């Protein structure tokens, strides 16, 4: 297997740009990645997108985006793995380059959620759950997280406020971030007095509807010196239904993909300098931190509340605001996480820079953990 390098990155500001369509968003990120790499040759295009088929009624996204970047005729396909689409598409790109099948692979993610009303978006978001078993009951993605939240506080004695701190930490890191959707500070009081979204999860604990696109250009490390190598890229799945899992508070897909990635990259959690996790809601972020191995099961909420994930502390997490504050344009989110990790490893994060960041990790997760992808990147 060949070593894979990240040659270039590109992304749009996360927000609700009603005047722009998915092609424009995708092209902006993808062309920026090629420009950043100073390389325009592409052999394969992977388009990460979760809900375009529902929200825009758009299929055939591979061909459409090849056209959008001025490369009609290119081998291209859409990758869908729910909210983990971005991370899973990245994994496909890495495999294509590592195997020697392709030299230059463009992996771009795009999502435009603001085109439709909240009801349609909420329905699409729960689309990764089994339609005949879970989704038909009317439960939402946040509703499923709420079940885990209740179970977590009961089993481990954590308080809702400790869990709520995850949102505060994410917002702290988004201040001054030009591409973030919500670049303001958020107090724990504001989190805990915001309206109930799915009891006991409050509105300010949830990522909002967002539009955006992010892309990376991958190439063989033997042909391009970029300073950033893919140390590991893994994907794992779990039973989609919480009811089928042995222990609902353990996200097996996260554990499995993370452990595989640690083994491939030959690193341990303590070697990771910068981390991006999936905080679609606060409890998702807490459980992810635990199952990635950064803190013992049941102690994640306290760990976050005490500040151990802040910029200068033990494990700097969600360093540009995470899903909550940078924003969560679902199919593109996994690629935003990877792009942000590259910015850190390049030492170009400005006020958000983590000193001496050499190893970075990004975790992209679908729903309450039915799919999880891990990327470990290394500055070389």
Partner 1 sequence: VVDIEPESVKSGMKVEYTFRKVTEDGQAGLIQYGYKFRPIVD
Binding site for partner 1 (CB under 8 A): 136-138, 154
- Residue with smaller CB distance to partner 1, 189 or 199: 199
Backbone angles phi, psi at 16, to 5 degrees: -130, 70
What stretches of the chain show up as alpha helix (H) in DSSP?
Answer: 22-37, 52-55, 61-68, 85-98, 118-125, 141-156, 160-174, 188-193, 252-265, 282-291, 300-305, 322-325, 330-346
Q: How crowded is residue 77: how many other Cβ atoms within 10 Å of its Cβ?
A: 16
**Residue number, 150 or 358, with CB nearest to partner 1:** 150
103 or 197: CB nearest partner 1: 197
CB of 4 to partner 1, least distance (A): 47
**The dihedral formed by the CA atoms of 170, 319, 82 and 366, expressed in degrees to the nearest 10:** -70
Rg of the chain in Å (alpha carbons): 19
C-beta of 137 vs 312, nearer to partner 1:
137
Q: How far is CA 241 from the centre of its chain?
A: 21
In the complex with partner 1, the residue whose CB is nearer, 2 or 150, is 150
Q: Give the integer Cα–Cα distance in Å for 83 and 68.
A: 23
Angle between helix 282-291 and 160-174 (nearest 10): 90
By beta-carbon proximity to partner 1, the closer residue of 137 and 355 is: 137
User: Cα angle vertex 315, ends 314, 320, to 5°?
Assistant: 130
Closest CB to partner 1 among residues 199, 313: 199
CA dist 306 and 287 (Å) reads 16
Q: In whole angstroms, how close is the CB of 298 to partner 1 at the nearest point?
A: 17
Instruction: Tell me how far the alpha carbon of residue 244 is from its chain's centroid.
Output: 25
- The distance of closest approach from Cβ of residue 165 to partner 1 in the complex, given in angstroms and rounded to an integer, is 25
Least distance to partner 1 from the beta carbon of 277, Å?
28
Cβ 340 to partner 1 shortest distance, Å: 39
For residue 60, the minimal CB distance to partner 1 (Å) is 29
Residue 91: closest CA among 280, 343, 362, 316: 362
Shortest Cβ distance from residue 21 to partner 1 (Å)? 29
């Amino acid at each position: 297997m060949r070593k894979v390098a990240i040659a270039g990155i590109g992304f749009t500001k996360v927000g609700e740009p009603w005047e722009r369509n998915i092609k424009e968003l995708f092209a902006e990120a993808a062309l920026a990645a090629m420009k950043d790499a100073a390389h325009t040759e592409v052999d394969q295009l992977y388009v990460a997108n979760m809900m375009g088929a529902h929200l825009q009624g758009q299929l055939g996204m591979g061909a459409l985006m090849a056209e959008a970047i001025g490369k009609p005729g290119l081998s291209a396909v859409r990758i869908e793995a729910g909210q983990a689409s971005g991370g899973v598409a990245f994994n496909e790109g890495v495999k294509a380059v590592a195997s020697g099948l392709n030299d230059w692979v463009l992996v771009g993610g795009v999502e435009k959620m603001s085109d439709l009303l909240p009801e349609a978006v909420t329905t699409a978001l729960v689309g990764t759950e089994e339609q005949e078993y879970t989704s038909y009951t009317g439960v939402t993605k946040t509703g499923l997280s709420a079940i885990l939240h209740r179970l977590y506080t009961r089993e481990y004695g954590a308080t809702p406020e400790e869990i709520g701190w995850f949102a505060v930490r994410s917002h702290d890191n988004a201040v001054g971030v030009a591409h973030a959707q919500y670049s303001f500070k958020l107090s724990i009081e504001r989190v805990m007095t915001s309206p109930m979204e799915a009891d006991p999860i409050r509105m300010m604990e949830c990522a909002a509807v967002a539009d955006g696109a992010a892309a990376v250009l991958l190439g063989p490390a033997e042909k391009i010196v970029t300073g950033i190598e893919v140390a590991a890229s893994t994907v794992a799945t779990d039973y989609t239904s919480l009811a089928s899992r042995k222990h609902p508070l353990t996200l097996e897909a996260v554990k499995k993909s993370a452990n595989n990635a640690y083994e491939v990259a030959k690193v341990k959690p303590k070697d990771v300098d910068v981390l991006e996790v999936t905080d679609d809601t606060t409890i998702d972020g807490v459980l992810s931190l635990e199952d990635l191995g950064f803190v013992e099961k049941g102690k994640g909420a306290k760990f976050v509340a005490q500040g151990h994930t802040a910029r200068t502390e033990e494990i700097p997490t969600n360093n540009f605001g995470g899903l909550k504050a940078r924003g969560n344009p679902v199919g593109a989110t996994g690629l935003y996480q990877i792009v942000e990790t590259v910015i850190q490893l390049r030492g170009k994060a400005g006020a958000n820079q983590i000193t001496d960041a050499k190893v970075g990790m990004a975790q992209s997760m679908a729903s309450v953990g039915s799919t999880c992808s891990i990327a470990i990147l290394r500055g070389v």
